[in-house]
Amino acid sequence: DIKPENILSTFSKGSKMDSCLQRCRQRCLKRSGRMQLMDLALEEGMDATFGLVDLGNSCYTNRHIALNITTLEYKAVEVMMNAGYDTSADLWSLGCSIYELGTGRYLFDARCTQARPKGLQARESLSQEPEHLAQIVELLGPLPQSLLARARRVDAFFGGEASDGGMPPIEKRPFLHGEVSMQDLARCFLLERLEEHLPKEQALLLSQILGPMMEAEAA
């Protein structure tokens, strides 16, 4: 269950990073504070160590103990749709966590359409799971057919009625209880999202790191 509160870090006692954390632990960090922490973390480099806690749902890739894993905001799309998962689901969660730690915002927030990029046109709000998936599609584009073909929870996200020609393709079906479909959604890009919160140089660096982690398909 990879998320920021389950990532522990150790820094050299008396280091700039340690001193900064001691000063800010009792107050909410503003943008300038987050930028300072990011710069200090890069300076700390190999002297910093990180670890994961709360491994109660950990499992082998070939022996799952649950179909539904990870906390909502960090849940990989293949997990959401019950399309099978492996270690790529952890990379997705880590990518969402790094974005949040760097910007102070969720990458995807199914409970709040304000998490959508500022530049995107307004659209109807959807119920929680379809909204989550819609935000992912806005960032990554329509989901690959290889994933949709394996998904066992398609009807939890998409509505639509069959006609004489059968059920329309998933990318043309409206999200459940809504009118918009995957192919109707406007697109945004990860770099644009990051530039809303970070200087251009840091946004570019972080987008290059996160891009390969945010793939809507199990490896």
Closest residue by Cα to residue 66 from 108, 75, 155: 75
Name the pLDDT band for 219 (thresholds 50, 70, 90): very low
- pLDDT, tens only, 83-105: 999 989 999 999 999 898 888 88
- pLDDT, tens only, 119-150: 676 677 788 889 899 999 998 888 988 999 99
Name the pLDDT band for 28 (thresholds 50, 70, 90): low
Question: Distance between CA atoms of 15 and 11, rounded to whole angstroms?
Answer: 7
Q: What integer pLDDT is reported at residue 157 of this predicted model? A: 92
133, two tokens? 């998936």
Which helix (DSSP H) or strand (DSSP E) does residue 8 occupy? strand 7-10
pLDDT above 70 coverage of the chain, percent: 80
pLDDT above 90 coverage of the chain, percent: 24
